[in-house]
Amino acid sequence: MEYIGLFGGTFNPIHLGHIQVIQEVKKGFGLDKIFIIPSALPPHKERDSLVEAGDRIEMIRLAFSNHPDFAVSDVELKRSGPSYTIDTVRHFKSILPEDIELYLIVGLDAFLEIDTWESYKDLFLMIPFIVMSRSTAGEDGTVYGPKTFENYLKSRISGGYKISASQSSYIHEEKQPVFVFNVTPVDISSTKIRRFIKKGRPIKSLVPELVEAFIKTKGLYL
Ligand code: ATP
């Protein structure tokens, strides 16, 4: 059996926060491979400062050039229209052998809006989730504790979710399990990086060296 993770996002740009947490997920769940999937038109995000998909993909390639277990997928960039996760999951299910176990990796902040995603109910029938929880305050001072997650899951997704005996996941009779995984809090976001660049502040500690060089050479986010 092979275990594969799917990790979507805007990656505008990819940063050390993303890299740190998905390495932790990979190790924690014994995943063989993780696909990083940049979205073309993120349905939820402002598009002003969004750099070209080709540049975002290139930065992901550079970030993982020494990590063969991480691959970038351009599936959402090849599709026209907004990027819906449901289509991406269907795509991977159709191209991968049946004995592969797929997991959808999402940050807790993204998960807490999942009832706004296209066909989200079907998503819970199709693929187990790994929700990355960071238990410190976010930039806006919000703190999401385990209770927030559990309330959301039960009230907005399905009251049938119950915590498993091992307490590592929420299980459901008809739906796929949802695992909650604590990751090391890293106070980095793409927004922060774009802000730093606009102010002329260094981003050395926020992105891999090759990504920093690429951003500089191409004059991105100025
Ligand atoms: P932006 O600041 O532009 O909103 P972002 O840094 O949150 O971007 P995304 O590309 O939207 O980056 O992130 C993809 C996924 O990575 C999301 O599920 C998000 O929750 C998660 N993520 C982003 N930064 C971190 C971080 N520092 N630690 C853990 N997860 C993160």
Domain ranges of the chain: 2-188
Say yes or no: CB of residue 12 within 6 Å of ligand 1.
Answer: yes
For atom 15 of ligand 1, the residue with the nearest CA is 9
Say yes or no: CB of residue 84 within 6 Å of ligand 1.
Answer: no
Question: What residues are paired with 197 via a beta bridge?
Answer: none
Nearest atom (ligand 1) to Cα of 14: 10
User: 134 falls in which pLDDT band (50, 70, 90)?
Assistant: confident
Can you give the pTM of this predicted structure? 0.92
Q: Containing H/E element for 17?
A: helix 16-29
Q: Which pLDDT does position 79 carry in this prediction? A: 81
Q: Is residue 222 scored above 80 in pLDDT? A: yes
Q: Does domain 2-188 have CATH number 3.40.50.620?
A: yes
Residue whose CB lies within 8 A of the most ligand 1 atoms, among 21, 105, 189, for a mutation test:
189
Digit-coded pLDDT (tens) for 32-78? 999 999 998 666 666 678 899 999 999 999 999 989 999 999 999 98
C-alpha to C-alpha distance for 146 and 72, rounded to whole angstroms: 31
Digit-coded pLDDT (tens) for 150-203? 999 999 999 999 999 988 899 999 999 999 999 998 999 999 999 999 999 999
Q: Containing H/E element for 102?
A: strand 100-107
Within 10 angstroms of residue 217's Cβ, the number of other Cβ atoms is 8
Q: Containing H/E element for 88?
A: helix 85-95
Please state, rounded to an integer, the average pLDDT across all residues of the chain.
91
Q: Report CA(14)–ligand 1 centroid distance (Å).
A: 9
Residue whose CB lies within 8 A of the most ligand 1 atoms, among 104, 190, 197, 221, for a mutation test:
190
